Structure 1
């Protein structure tokens, strides 16, 4: 936003101009889980790992959707009383994150995300977005609860000449990682000579 004409083309997928109260609340829930781990206060390597596992479980609920969990994590055995597929998935994802990330970095990164606000010091979000000179594609994901479609529409409504599209996905916010064929389709449309200025 400091150099709005730096890029000729801009593609924004499942994001917003200002981090929402909903997104900040998810981040705070994750930080509370990390801070509840007594080892976090020690400030040493490996501190907060148990809390980070729990934080990841919270985060996943904002990254995916009800239907994605229903399709991929529903137990095939109606008689199961414990070790549910959804439970083991949450634990597995927590272990994966702890193996490659640090609780202190996670907290710092989430706090930085909370401050995201393109309009700060630029006359508000609409004024900041109107400064963007790049030809822009704004792509929202229909099942994204973390960055819902109204946030994508806000971007497209204020960026001059922006192309807006919606990707119908059952994967929630993680659709931006998983729906490569659909995203490629929208990129091809965006870069097609008939759509060029």
Structure 2
């Protein structure tokens, strides 16, 4: 792309994994970094969710398999609470045709119309293989090499990329700071809570770089 210095790189989820890898690979190129709902290496929990989706692709045919894979993924993107709030039934006598059922089918059909099953499989494998420590001393050492001022954003209700993973990032990035936002939407909160995230990002950008590494306070901002 012919880019020289990058003033700010932003990435969420898999995009955050990519942004971190680039910031480790080219530490002098990035001034500032904002990564949301992401991690230093993909967890066994995340890999298991992705494998279940690939099993659906393998057993259900291309189109039906992709729909089922997406329905599985939606369970990891959201959580118990938001399904209860958005898909509850008002009729106690209902025994079929549940809102939660139709929602899952709708999400599967919507993705099937716009996405390729092979691309879905490859992207899930790429996410599984994410590990900043590969070919380096460790994930901690890789994070310690990042020179960019970094804002890490976690979502309290995220079950796919839990807050402990963002705490790990902020703890080991020399100029890392952490914001944990409250959202009922789980992992999808990084796509939904644009106003809240924008406010924290603007505050981060308006702060002068610290002369020394800030104190890390789990679950709070630490600039």
Q: 1:11 aligns with which of 34, 44, 69?
A: 34
Does 2:173 match 1:150?
A: no
Q: Which residue of structure 2 lines up, in the alignment, with residue 80 of structure 1?
A: 94
TM value normalised by structure 2: 0.82
Q: Which runs of 5+ in 2 are unaligned?
A: 1-23, 211-223
Aligned CA RMSD, in angstroms, stands at 1.0
Superimposed CA distance per residue, residues 125-179 of structure 1 (whole angstroms, 9 cap, x where no aligned partner): 0000000000000010000010001100110000002111101111000000000
In structure 2, the residue matched to 1:100 is 114
2:209 aligned partner: 196
Which deviates more, 75-84 or 53-62? 75-84
- Post-superposition shift, 1:192? 2.0
Show the counterpart of 2:193. Answer: 179
Which structure ranks higher in relative contact order (CA pairs < 8 Å, sequence separation ≥ 6)? Answer: 1
User: Helix, strand or coil for the counterpart of 2:152?
Assistant: strand
Give, in whole Å, the separation in 1 of the partners of 2:55 and 2:28: 40
Distance 1:76 1:134 in 2: 50
Tell me the matched-pair count. Answer: 187
Q: 2:125 aligns with which of 82, 97, 111?
A: 111
- For residue 109 of structure 1, report the CA deviation from its aligned partner: 1.1
Question: Structure 1 regions of 5+ residues with no counterpart?
Answer: 40-47
**Match for residue 55 of structure 1?**
69
3-state SS, counterpart of residue 12 of structure 1: strand
| Superposition TM-score, scaled by structure 1 size | 0.92
C-alpha distance in 2 between matches for 1:4 and 1:59: 33
Is structure 2 residue 169 aligned with structure 1 residue 159?
no
> Aligned partners of 1:163, 1:114: CA distance in 2, in Å?
25
2:21 maps to none
Residues 67-86 of structure 1: CA distance to partner in whole angstroms, max 9, x if unpaired? Answer: 11111111122221111000
Q: Secondary structure in 2 aligned to 1:8?
A: strand
1:50-94 CA-partner distances (Å, limit 9, x unpaired): 011111110000000111111111112222111100000000000
Q: Detail structure 1 runs of 4+ shifted over 3 Å in the superposition.
A: none
